[in-house]
Amino acid sequence: MRSIELQPSKGIGFDALRAHGRHNGEIPVVNTVFPGEDPGQVYPFPKGDVYLTQLGVRVAEPDSVTMVMKLLPGGAGYPSEKEYLRKIGLLPETASVIEVTPQIHTDNALGYPFTDPAGLLRGEVAIAHSPGRKLYYVSAFSNDQITTMAEELGMATLDRPHSDRTNNKALLRVQKDKYGIRMFDGMVIDTIDDIERLTEKFRGKTMWMKYPTGSGGDLVHRIQSVNSESVLETVEKIREEVMKAFEYGSYDTQGREYWPKDALHPEEFPLVIEIDATEEGRIILNGSNSFTTYNDGRVIVHGFFEQITSDVGEYLGSQPMIDDKEMRSLILEQTFHLARYNTEENGYYGNQGADYFVIQRFDGRKEVRVVELNSRPPISMYAHIVAHRLGFPAWINVNVQLNSGREIRDMSDFFEAIGEDLAYGKETSDGKLQIVPLAFRTIQSRTRERGEETIASPQFKAVLLGQTPQHCRLLQEVLRERGVSPQ
């Protein structure tokens, strides 16, 4: 790697092209959803993830194309979701949006291809744009099936390694010492003998077991006290959750073939276990960042974030990290090592994000411990771009739920719950405040079996925008007063 720089991000589509040296009029077609039919990246809880396909349209760039599930319509005099995003300045007039209606023909059909825009269009249409401008499919994940799907839709793909390699926690742990990456004490569990060694070394300790390619807190389980029985019980819990993914989605293999009942893990995907952060020191920061690696050797870091998680490790939201030069320097050092690993070991160029803890060790020294590397734009990246575009220095990305049995069926429900003043931006004596929805869990589906239906939900993800962190916390209180619960 040649250099590391700090620079806010303006979007994810054209940046992905530039990372690969593509800057001659090519057009990105962005899709932020599933990794296709390859089970190397399984989604056991697609209902909790599928709505994130809407993130891409919030950060669309001029002259780009975004593929998205059908956006919410307007109602009661309020604009549609797409009209609203254009009004507030997030969706440029020259940005194209391809809306695709999901096909949820049973209550379980929520994974690929039932809710993937590209998967639904595959074999049905060819995507075209201005003559002479080549279309490149920029997806959150990459593998051979995605490349084939893009070609069938008339698009080229970037030369990217498979996501089940670049997002693999086990491979990262195996290579960490070679690249100077600091991680919590732990090990890769490949055989029964590994479990014996694990229990000898860590008996009674609190640890976290992880599926190597789980995403967003999925397939992570805490073991309160390590012994052989608790470890094997946790392996079975993860296996049962992986099996759920095969119920919700359509993969190119069956669950029982992918992870046989008598196997400790799927072939080529050993599990990972690591010590709880508190076993090694005092937690100063549960953090993440976003950075892009380029094929000319540059690394650009876009932002540093503080993670908001539940007690069981589930990702709930994030906000910008406090400005601390010492912590930033420690994080940048590890970011550079991660960038070397992902480019030299995997050949990955593009946006990615690391999750990490900053701890104060029991000997008093501060250190960064990397938890995982996600070779895709992290969710915090979208909130960061929205805030930057709209001119807000402070933000909190939160999950939100309407109270009193209310649900969102169209944009009128959003406006009436949040208030037009905050949806469009409220001027105060201390500056402007605003609440922007990042993604709605409400899904509009159409199938032969069930016809057209709106699967309403009271939940959505939002970014609370203000001039200071205190303003953002004030917005959380305002929401509660209006019968809306931010997590």
304 domain residue, yes or no: no
Q: What is the predicted pLDDT for the residue at 216? A: 64
Query: Token digits for 350?
Result: 């593009």
pLDDT tens digits, one per residue of 186-200? 999 999 999 999 999
452 domain residue, yes or no: yes
Each as own residue / partner, the long-range contacts of residues 11-14 (CB below 8 Å, 24 or more positions apart, any chain) are 11/59, 11/60, 11/61, 11/64, 11/385, 12/56, 12/59, 12/138, 12/351, 12/377, 12/381, 12/385, 13/60, 13/61, 13/64, 13/65, 13/66, 13/138, 14/61, 14/64
Number of domains in the chain: 2
In CATH, what number is assigned to the domain containing residue 417? 3.30.70
31 domain residue, yes or no: yes
259 domain residue, yes or no: no
Domain end among 131, 163, 195: 163
* DSSP per-residue codes, 348-404: --EEEEEEEEEEEETTS-EEEEEEEEESS--HHHHHHHHHHHHT-SEEEEEEEEE-T
210 — phi, psi (to 5°)?
-135, 140
Domain end among 130, 148, 163: 163
133 domain residue, yes or no: yes
The 10 Å CB-count burial string (b at 16+, else e) for 251-290 is: beeebeebbeeeebbbeebbbbbbbebeebbeebbbbbbb
Is the bond leading into 117 cis (omega within 30 degrees of zero)?
Answer: no
Instruction: Provide the residue-wise pLDDT of the chain in tens; the chain has 487 residues.
Output: 778 999 999 899 999 999 999 988 899 999 998 777 777 788 777 776 788 889 999 999 999 999 999 999 999 999 999 999 999 999 999 999 999 999 988 777 778 888 889 988 987 777 877 777 899 999 999 999 899 999 999 999 999 999 999 999 999 999 999 999 999 999 999 999 999 999 999 999 999 999 999 876 679 999 999 999 999 999 999 999 999 888 888 887 888 899 999 999 999 999 999 999 999 999 999 999 999 999 999 999 999 999 887 766 666 789 999 989 999 999 999 999 999 999 999 999 999 999 999 999 999 999 999 999 999 999 999 999 999 999 999 999 999 999 999 999 999 999 999 999 999 999 999 899 999 999 999 999 999 888 999 999 999 999 999 999 999 999 999 999 999 998 7
pLDDT tens digits, one per residue of 276-298? 999 999 999 999 999 999 999 99
Residue-range definition of the domain harbouring residue 13? 3-163
